[in-house]
Amino acid sequence: MYDWNDLRYFLELSRRGRLISAARKLHVDHTTVSRRISALEDELNARLFDKSPRGYKLTDAGLRLLPYAEQMEARSNQLYQEISGKDARLSGTVRLAAPEGLSADIIARNLGKFREMHPDIELELLAESRQTSLSKREADIAITLARPDSGRVIAWKLCDYRLGLYATQDYLDRHPAISRLEDLNGHDFIGYIDDLIQLPELRFLEQVVKSPHMVFRSTSVIAQYNAVLDGIGLSIVHYFMANHDARLIPVLPHKVAIDREYWLVVHEDLRHVARVDAVCHFLTKLLKDLHGHMTGQSMPRIL
């Protein structure tokens, strides 16, 4: 029979990806973590991790073990709380994958509230606009642009959000006036790199102008945003990013309004893990409270 205590080392290495980081969290030497993982692999007769220059990654066997280890950890915490009569503080690491704009402008700006409620939960934020595999445990929770149609996941809609067309006053002063959609054909645009767009929901520029003259492309929303601020072209920007920045001017706001959705997705094996549930609850309430900000219910500035 394997030592149940070895699962603590397995869980921490699966979350951290590196021996030193896991050892620091467990308050032991990194050689102890390595030794306990090796012992667990020997007892289970299975290789649980693949090692690479980027760290430790779960094998198929490790991925199968992970939900059981998570459940045992959750049961252990519940047992302590019920038997001891003490409130067990939620702790551990939760990895969240979310689109870059939402991550930088909404989630990161509101982490203070979460820290006040759950000071022992460490949140790791993957801020990128690509598909993340929850089944491969690339993240515990994902915020996506559409409801997933497959997989052992639980999903619910967080909110709607809106995007519009923006430019700086400097750009508008140096280029022909824009009073109708047809006027956009002679202007410069900023957007995504076409062949690297993984999500169809990000193909919104073609809804505005069929053949835009592109002067800058990037997979990064923040890079696109900064390029607009530098005055080199027009770009589709989230209302929640643009409407508090007086440097950006909405262009044809009554004609260019693109609506999208954010969905929260969690693997069904982790749905009731306490720390994961705490993050899910926080994000759901946060975006519900910010509904008006996300959808731009107050129309953007028109100059």
Identify the architecture of domain 6-84 in CATH: Orthogonal Bundle (1.10)
Domain boundaries, the chain: 6-84, 92-158+262-295, 160-260
Identify the architecture of domain 92-158+262-295 in CATH: 3-Layer(aba) Sandwich (3.40)
Does residue 267 surpass a pLDDT of 80? yes
Tokens describing residue 174: 């140096």
Q: Is 85 exposed, middle or buried (0-12, 13-18, 19+ CB in 10 A)?
A: exposed
Say which CATH topology domain 160-260 has.
Answer: D-Maltodextrin-Binding Protein; domain 2 (3.40.190)
What's the CA gap between 27 and 21, in Å, rounded? 10
Does residue 12 surpass a pLDDT of 70? yes
299 residue type, one letter: M
pLDDT at 302: 39
What's the CA gap between 70 and 11, in Å, rounded? 8
Q: Measure Cα distances from 234 to 143, 167, 194, 296 in Å.
A: 27, 5, 17, 19
Strands 121-127 and 92-98: parallel
- State pLDDT tens for residues 137-161: 788 999 999 998 888 899 999 999 9
Tell me whether the CATH fold assigned to 6-84 matches the one assigned to 160-260. Answer: no
Half-sphere exposure of 285 (CA within 13 A, CB side): 9
- State pLDDT tens for residues 222-250: 999 999 999 999 999 999 999 889 999 99
- Beta-carbon contacts of residue 225 (< 8 Å; ≥ 6 apart): 101, 235, 237, 241
Q: Exposed e or buried b for every residue in 183-199, given b needs 16+ CB within 10 A?
A: ebeebbbbbbeeeeeee
